[in-house]
Structure 1
């Protein structure tokens, strides 16, 4: 029996959906408008892409979703869990309290139950003081009925996870499995405050991820589809529903990475720059061996500084719906505001009243959509200057993302890619692949499942080779837990950074393993969580 898969990606302007066959050929594609509640836009895109394909629903075995639900919850400060944060680090870390530097409005939501207890480790793994198990138990008793999610962070837990793991066990003993527990050693890397922030954010969006997963499962069931469900994560790979609900923060920024993976697949260019032009922003990322380059810097999410892995993406406020302001003195302003998903009602070429970048491209004959006569009255000389500036903005961003002055292949994807010419400064060639408008949904559908670990190891203890073998095994185990086929796993990224300031030949090792979906599982669909 033939096997098909659905890929859906939610952007700020459009929700894109594709249906692919076993050979990853596009059978049908749909661009639906992203809705304010996000979910109904997903349902519409799903319904339309299935109807357009003519494929029997019982032959759809996989469904992948790249979603902005969790990002939106943090940015909008809505639908967040009641969280408690326990830091294991007294007496060493009491000078700086949890959530310092977090915006006041978010701290007022997440900072109601903050604790610092005795315990933690030195940078070389030695205990600062023994873990105060009695106090952890007291806190858990206090929190009964008060919170639905707990974030536990211990000093230098990437070196030794012992105190964090034990604290998690105690909390679960007292509160049961109804309260979600997030451990920082499983989420962030070295750097206590940033890792703690990432863990608290992860704990805050567990319910959003659960309801999103349940909503997607129910939407599929309404269409008669019983498929294995996977969510996009921000390294360009997939994870199972169970893994998503445990680590929802990994869905943040999965949209641009889906576009990068889709671009690599559509062009067969594993190393290139990808320019993803949406309705609101243009995102520029770098493909290295078909996967997005990871950022080495701390990343802010909703005003919160974190240090969990994120793709290296540069975003500018330039998309198909970006508003152009023309002044009487001949000057102009490009964005950063956008009409977003309301382009087809607000744009001049669609009969609206707002001048956008799309109108500029249509008026100059660069793009062909809407009614060009509605922009024929505009001054072409001014529009040419606007268009030149638009291209300059994209070229400057491309230049910032390159690691050398040599020209590199540039792949243009996204619904707004019609805005740009086929020649750009700094590009050895500009490629606009077929189906480029839904590259993000294709990237979501064709992605592999991955697991990544980033830990500090003392290579003196096992020797370098055995330490690397252990790190690889841990990455394999993570990938299998996320839903990968154990027989189809390979190491796609390995980085060693010697930490000369730590004893024992300490080395920070990052390993990522990726593989195909576990296709041997019985395709009976997923039960709501």
Structure 2
């Protein structure tokens, strides 16, 4: 049995998939514990949440203390003594007194620690972490080494965001585990991750809702090339699917690249709970009046024009002409955004898809499809997703060192590159198995990057340096198909 939960802005959607699909909604006003109490403890549970995203977008500017270990001669904000070479050797120790001085009197919200070559040896990051832990809780401290990639500026940037949201993710994990000890989060690429891996890299959860709705729309419609139109309470998300998979992109925040890959989505800032004042506003002020809220919304405007959603009588606070203008404005905004994609097929999801997609599709000159369970497609997508992960492998034959994302693993002699790739592939499969991935989901290990070169000293080869990026791709679990 597969259970998926998507924690949205208005409702928490639940999907239970066994011999059939069952979906239902729980108002967020009832709390997450109420939603968790409605599911069975058996089977697999996967959760998608927009809370980390909302914290970054709507929260106050984060006061994050950044400590970098760039090495001699390199200038970065928060730089301290200490250096790891490009081959993973410690060539300069940290100065503990310097770290203590930085921490005394600091009232930052969190601390980000990043060493230039910590992904090849994370010992200096760990030493700084031990000192910082005397001043801040573990939930306030983020390390860069679990991110794996060498790109130092992007790794610093991503680690700062991890420090900002790690506390929220930690509290969410504790809350969920009190009811369901074993569960997965949906990542921004549409794969699943363990709670422990998410805590090491919380930005994996960034923008997970578009990823789940893409997986859910594909699972429910089996349409390989389409544009998903997900009409939520706060926004309408447009998510393209090509060859059965959502399009991926690198996340850029505050004008700088991060190390996070995410499903591409265009957000139109209007949804069912967008309130009506002088016009349709690009924000929500609570639920629609038809669901107990105080201000009229797009949903209420639909009721006035003939829909039957919730308590229709409570929607009768705006005139028919006003309601028609509001609905037309919404349709114009969404259709304009859709035309940028030139889609042939639209898959409608979200609780208003049944009321709006046919008109949207006609305006966009596309075929519109609203599959069964479309209102909870995001939860369906969470339920059927599979465990995915990516690792960065570094091998130095002279040092007899093999690291995965900065952590040292058992080294062995390799006859050739194929033998090394086979060993690295087995390591990533073992990591996935330890998180509970079934064998059918981990057979296809993809090589995203491979680079190897010989080190020559005194006219002879003394070492071979190899860097590999391997991944188990996100998507739908073979067990759910």
Gaps of 5+ in 2: 397-413, 452-463
Counterparts of 2:320 and 2:184 in 1: how far apart (Å)? 49
CA gap 1:42/1:518 in 2 versus in 1, 3 angstroms: farther
Shift of 1:43: 1.4
Structure 2 CA distance for partners of 1:337 and 1:78, relative to 1, 3 Å: closer
Counterpart for residue 206 of structure 1: 166
Quick check: 1:296 aligned with 2:296?
Answer: no
1:217 corresponds to which residue? 177
Identify if the C-alpha distance between structure 1 residues 173 and 87 changes in structure 2 by more than 3 Å, giving closer, same or farther: closer
In the other structure, the counterpart of 1:153 is 114
Alignment of 1:172-187 (within 5 A): 179=138, 182-187=142-147
Corresponding residue number in structure 2 for 1:235: 189
Cα 1:453–1:292 change in 2 (3 A) is farther
CA distance in 2, matches of 1:6, 1:256: 18
Q: Which residue of the partner structure matches residue 388 of structure 1?
A: 328
Gaps of 5+ in 1: 51-56, 98-113, 221-226, 327-332, 499-503, 520-529
Change (3 A) 1:232 1:514: closer
216, 220, 229: which one aligns with 1:266:
220
User: Does structure 1 conserve the Cα–Cα contact (< 8 Å) formed by 2:290 and 2:315?
Assistant: no
Matches within 5 A, 1:91-490: 91-94=72-75, 96-97=76-77, 114-119=78-83, 125=86, 131-135=91-95, 139=99, 151-155=112-116, 157=117, 161-163=119-121, 165-171=122-128, 179=138, 182-187=142-147, 189=149, 191-220=151-180, 228-296=182-250, 298-300=252-254, 306-326=258-278, 333-341=279-287, 343-344=289-290, 352=294, 354-365=295-306, 368-371=309-312, 375=316, 378-380=319-321, 383-400=323-340, 402=341, 405=342, 407-422=343-358, 423-426=361-364, 428-453=366-391, 475-476=428-429, 479-480=432-433, 482-486=435-439, 488-490=441-443
Distance in 1 separating the partners of 2:299 and 2:233: 9
State the match for 2:15 in structure 1.
18
Task: Select which of 35, 57, 61 maps to 1:45.
Answer: 35
Report the TM-score, using the length of structure 2 for normalisation.
Answer: 0.76
- Residue deviations 1:48-98 (CA, integer Å, cap 9, x gap): x44xxxxxx46x232222223433444455898x9653312144431x52x
Give the TM-score, by structure 1 length: 0.70
2:66 pairs, out of 77, 85, 88, with 85
Do the aligned residues in 1 keep the contact of 2:226 with 2:240 (CA within 8 Å)? yes
Any idea what SS the aligned residue of 2:442 has? strand
Show CA shifts across 1:360-417 (max 9, x none): 322333555532695497244x6444433322221222233x3xx4x33211111232
SS of the aligned residue for 1:309 comes to strand
Deviation at 1:312, TM superposition (A): 1.2
- 8 Å contact from structure 2 (residues 191, 473) kept in 1: no
1:320 to partner: Cα distance? 0.5
